[in-house]
Chains A and B, each alone.
Chain A
Amino acid sequence: MQRILGVLIIGGTLLLGQAVNSGVVHLGVANADNGTSASPYGPVDQNAPLDFSTQPASVPKNYQPGQLYNIEVLKGYTYPRVLQEMEAYTVALGVGCEYCHNEKNFAYDTKTKIVSRKMISMVANLDSSWITPVHKQFTNYAVSGQVGCVTCHRGQPSIPVEWNVVPVQYLDWPAKTTKQAGFVLNSMYSVSKSLGVNCLFCHNTADFVTLQYYPSNRIAHRMWQMVDAINHQYLPPDVKAVTCYTCHRGAKWPSKLVKAGLDETPVEPVPAHPEVHANPGAHLDPGST
């Protein structure tokens, strides 16, 4: 009788874990949102009539191929150089020229083209404001390479919004109440899954609050500020937010970095912290959790 009870208890628990497998909200994570942000800035309708009244003055009514018109972000680039850039965009987003441009008039400002300008300047700003300073400060922990369109887009025009939880700006602020700390913890889980690591990669769990000396911890702080900047300064208001997952895709460093115009760059492994071994039980399993 007791044996049957024991089997029922243990078996029931295991079954329960598997049975509520599909679609259960991640425990402790409030709004985990899995999917892609279907972009409203989709392919340009090539049959729509061109309305020049809303266009800037530099857009010509009679477009001549081979000429540069209406250049804002790529100022100073030669025509072949512009074409080279454009080809990189098509590979990075997995789209054709017709996705952003009206093929009757490549200079015409479509909605998609306007958003793309923001994206291009964003990439430049990310590298100069966030990525390069991290390289300089933590030479042992960062990898060479810079972000490019492909890092987020990975050959798709839409970006994934998996693990879309919580106020990233709150992460960089000391929690005010236990309830607020709970929200921070939920986001921490999303960060963990996005990077494929466990808590011990950035934290000394003896004290999450005061022991923030791991380099990965300091890098993470910069990264949140970057994500916050992306979401509030560059993303158009009707697109869901990016999270760590968008670039990292479950790896400690994004696998699709660019270097001097190349789409991929070989990356060096991130070494484990020497501090970890002084901390009882803080073993990092190779790779992830």
Chain B
Amino acid sequence: MALLEFEEEYRKPGATLLRDVFGGDPFDFWVGNFYVGFWGVVAAGAIALGVAILFVAVGQYGDWDLLRANIPPPTREFGLGPAPFIHGGAWQLVVFFASISFIAWAMREVDICRKLQMGYHVPAMFSLAISAWLTLQIIRPLFMGCWCEGFDLGFTGHLTWVSNTGFRFMNFYLNPFHAYAVLGFFLAAMLLAMHGSAILGTQQTDPDPRVEMHREDGFWRDYAGYSIGEYGIHRLGFYLAVFTLIMSDLCILTSGTLVGDWVDFWHPF
């Protein structure tokens, strides 16, 4: 893991949250390419513990196949309390440590942003992504009154959960938040293709950067009548991702709590 040629001048101690709050940070170093920091230690610890419990649980359930292995949440009778290890306790522990590790990862990204004197946009976006996990596994089960509402930890197992949850609410396509989220995902894919094509398509040898900008702006104006600009496209993509994630959170948060039947939502019996 060699350093990039300019990396040396950026690898300096300081500017982390811990140092600014407590005056010192004993974990302010790198291991290979990875920055550690206090939050890196927390994340590494949580990941190690979570993975260890994962392995023990999968061993107890017996199916080691990577795709079929599944750790189910507790059943309904345990409510919001702790469950025995085989009957959902493993799930609870893994979810707990996974959540800790995700949040620690985001805080570590904050530390890296502070070191590099960048805006906090990346950890902000990652926090939104974590919010989807937390909504599904923690917040919604709390609202619904039992841990059984979380999804199974398993490759195809979690897909079966999605299928069952969708049909539990009769026709999940009719959830308007879900529809907005799907729209957001498809628009994001399209926009991604457009932006990628714009940059990759204009890789020419003309050294004058203003020529490139006009070739980009000029193309989009001819083709579609509007060019959002090289700064604007990144704003659009960023906020589209934000919108999509918020809609996703809302779509599952309202199912089972406010609405029990999404077909009925459009016409009460």
Contact = CB atoms under 8 A, between A and B. Distances in A.
Q: Indicate whether A and B are direct neighbours in the complex (CB within 8 Å).
A: yes
A281 B152 contact: yes
B263 A198 contact: no
Given A13-B176, A206-B160, A288-B260, A283 B266 contact: no
Nearest to A277: B75
A289 B168 contact: yes
SS class of chain B's interface: helix, strand, loop or mixed?
helix
B167 interface: yes
A208 to B, nearest CB: 9
Contacts of B151: 280-281
A226 interface: no
A289 B169 contact: yes
B44 to A, nearest CB: 30
A285 interface: yes
Interface in B158-179: 158, 160-171, 174, 176-177
A153 interface: no
Contacts of B42: none
A200 B269 contact: no
Interface string A228-253: 00000000000000000000000000
Contacts of B165: 281
Contacts of A199: 167-168, 170
B149 interface: yes
Given A9-B180, A280-B72, A281-B151, A198 B163 contact: no
Interface in B67-107: 70, 72, 75-76
A200 B267 contact: no
Contact of B164 (A16, A200, A289): A200
A193 interface: yes
- Tier of interface size on chain A: 20 to 34
B261 interface: yes
Contacts of B170: 189, 192, 198-199, 289
Interface residues of B, number: 40
B180 A20 contact: no
A289 B171 CA distance: 11
A203 interface: yes
Contacts of A21: 266-268
B263 A13 contact: no
Interface string A192-219: 1100001110010110000000000000
Interface in A4-22: 6, 9-10, 13-14, 16-17, 20-21
Interface of B: 70, 72, 75-76, 148-149, 151-152, 154, 157-158, 160-171, 174, 176-177, 180, 239, 246, 250, 256, 260-261, 263-269
29 contacts: A2-B239, A10-B250, A13-B176, A13-B177, A17-B266, A21-B266, A25-B267, A26-B267, A27-B263, A28-B174, A28-B263, A189-B263, A198-B167, A198-B168, A199-B168, A200-B167, A206-B164, A279-B160, A280-B151, A280-B154, A280-B157, A281-B163, A282-B164, A283-B76, A283-B148, A283-B168, A285-B260, A289-B169, A289-B170
Interface of A: 2, 6, 9-10, 13-14, 16-17, 20-21, 24-29, 189, 192-193, 198-200, 203, 205-206, 277, 279-283, 285, 288-289
Given A2-B239, A283-B148, A289-B168, 19 more contacts: A14-B176, A25-B267, A26-B266, A27-B263, A27-B267, A192-B170, A199-B170, A206-B160, A206-B164, A280-B154, A280-B160, A280-B164, A281-B152, A281-B160, A281-B161, A281-B164, A281-B165, A283-B149, A283-B164
